[in-house]
């Protein structure tokens, strides 16, 4: 048995970042990963999808180049080359993490972890013990409990990243972040795309105004969207492809597709051998933790998707820092509820803080919404990005920022200015009196504040 100060199970964003910080803080750290380093984010999620998003963006730019006086002739797209580039980017980042795992003080173990007890973990033929253990095992794809959910033509987001050819007809079950990103990507690649979403609108966790405008923008691109539609079954067709059946407003609807993407969310990965033998409180959402990410078992922490608090890679990273700081006895004042989120559709979506719907649900009526529109921004018009975008800021009567919601080009970048304002506690007056460079998209934040 080998002694350590800290054991981390999982080398995704909630694992490897904490391992490096722990080692640099003097802790003898063991990190165990049964698959590839980088977790879902690097290998099956954030990074590879953004590579394909970029390929889709370039393809759209080339198609629209004529209005800039650039004639390119007939445009063709090679999916295999886009996949190759994606693999190359993932490989570079993976190599970087593998190098980090060689940091002095880190013992990296490739294999499946299994609990012997709350502070003893085995992997392969070796056993490790430590007073502190961090679970960072991430999440797995959910499947609807319906007939045909795992049939021939049904794939998950993982398989979508390695397709050999662009499907002529793609049906996406789920209008959340994952579903809409792939819908947007493969529409650019040439697929006929239909989205079927159970809730009343797409992106149900996001601001209603943003979701409605995004839906209109996607429809303009030719993506068919059914909302308030419950998928009931999937049937394989003898001639190839499948038929998806759903109930929408009391009527049965169907869509035929060559490929069906199951994108109905992800579930906490609590499938760790030996975990069930420990007195760890759980819910269907994930492992229960306190404000320091500690479970009901002292010295055992759970961070990232596995605790079900916020299924975002950057949230996992900062949750792991909170757990590590607790281990080290350090004060941590990071507001873990202030987490920006981004959706890489065309156009992009980003948000931080609360939405109007959340305020209404809490009975809060004393707030004000401020808006600005991309169509009035010089840089947006110069970028051909003035059609659908807008910025919405929500503020309390004293000017304190409560939330921000952005639809449009570079929304994923713009949201961080508002996040910083909210982090410091500065209000609308400070924002209004901060000079922004012209012409930039950042002026949209200033324009909203001045509305």
Q: Which residues are known catalytic residues?
A: 438
DSSP state for residue 192 in the 8-state scheme: E
């001045």: which residue's tokens? 450
Q: Which two tokens mark 116?
A: 């012997």
**Residue 130: CB atoms within 10 Å:** 22
Say which residues have a Cβ less than 8 Å from residue 179's Cβ, sequence separation at least 6: 172, 173, 195, 197, 261, 263, 264
Measure the CA–CA gap between 391 and 451, rounded to whole angstroms. 11
Distance of CA 286 to the CA centre of its chain: 17
Closest listed residue to residue 272, CA positions, set 135, 130, 409, 415: 135
Measure the CA–CA gap between 184 and 53, rounded to whole angstroms. 8
Helix, coil or strand: residue 362: coil
DSSP class per residue in 58-124: HHHHHHTGGGGT----S----HHHHHHHHHHHHHHHHHHHHHHTTSTTEEEEES-EEEEETTEEEET
For residue 232, give the H/E element and its range.
strand 229-236
Full strand arrangement of the beta sheet holding 113-117? 2-3, 126-129, 120-123, 113-117
What phi and psi values does residue 318 have, to the nearest 5 degrees? -75, -25
Say which residues have a Cβ less than 8 Å from residue 450's Cβ, sequence separation at least 6: 432
DSSP state for residue 275 in the 8-state scheme: G
Output Rg (C-alpha) for the chain, integer angstroms.
23
Closest listed residue to residue 418, CA positions, set 437, 432, 404: 404
């Amino acid at each position: 048995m080998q002694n350590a100060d800290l054991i981390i199970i999982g080398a995704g964003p909630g694992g490897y970042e904490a391992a490096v910080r722990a080692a640099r803080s003097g802790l003898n750290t063991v990190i165990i990963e049964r698959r590839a380093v980088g977790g879902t984010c690097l290998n099956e999620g954030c990074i590879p999808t953004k590579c394909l998003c970029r390929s889709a963006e370039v393809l759209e730019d080339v198609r629209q180049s004529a209005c800039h006086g650039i004639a390119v002739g007939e445009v063709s797209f090679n999916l295999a080359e886009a996949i190759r580039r994606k693999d190359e980017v993932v490989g570079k980042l993976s190599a970087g993490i593998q190098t980090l795992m060689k940091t002095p003080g880190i013992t990296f173990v490739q294999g499946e972890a299994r609990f012997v007890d709350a502070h003893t973990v085995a992997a392969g033929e070796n056993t490790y013990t430590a007073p502190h253990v961090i679970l960072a095992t991430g999440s797995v794809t959910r499947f609807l409990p319906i007939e045909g959910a795992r049939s021939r033509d049904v794939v998950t987001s993982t398989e979508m990243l390695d397709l050999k050819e662009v499907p002529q007809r793609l049906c996406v079950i789920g209008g959340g972040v994952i579903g809409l990103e792939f819908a947007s990507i493969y529409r650019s690649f040439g697929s006929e795309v239909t989205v079927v979403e159970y809730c009343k609108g797409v992106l149900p966790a996001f601001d209603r105004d943003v979701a409605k405008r995004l839906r209109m923008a996607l429809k303009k691109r030719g993506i068919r969207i059914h909302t308030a539609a419950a998928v009931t079954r999937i049937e394989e067709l003898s001639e190839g492809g499948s038929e998806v059946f759903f109930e929408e407003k009391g009527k049965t609807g169907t869509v035929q597709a060559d490929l069906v993407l199951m994108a109905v969310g992800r579930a906490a990965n609590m499938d760790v051998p030996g975990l069930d033998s420990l007195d760890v409180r759980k819910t269907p959402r994930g492992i229960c933790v306190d404000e320091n990410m500690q479970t009901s078992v002292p010295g055992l922490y759970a961070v990232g998707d596995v605790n079900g608090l916020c299924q975002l890679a950057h949230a996992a990273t900062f949750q792991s820092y909170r757990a590590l700081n607790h281990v080290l006895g350090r004060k941590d004042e990071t507001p873990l509820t202030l987490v920006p989120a981004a959706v890489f559709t065309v156009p992009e979506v980003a948000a931080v803080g609360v939405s109007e719907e959340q305020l209404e649900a809490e009975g809060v009526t004393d707030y004000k919404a401020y808006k600005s529109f991309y169509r009035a921004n010089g840089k947006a018009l110069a970028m051909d990005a003035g059609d659908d975008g807008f910025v919405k800021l929500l503020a309390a009567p004293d000017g304190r920022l409560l939330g921000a919601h952005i639809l449009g080009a570079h929304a994923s970048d713009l949201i961080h200015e508002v996040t910083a304002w909210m982090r410091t506690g500065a209000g609308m007056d400070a924002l209004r009196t901060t000079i922004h460079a012209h012409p930039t998209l950042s002026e949209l934040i200033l324009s909203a504040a001045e509305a």
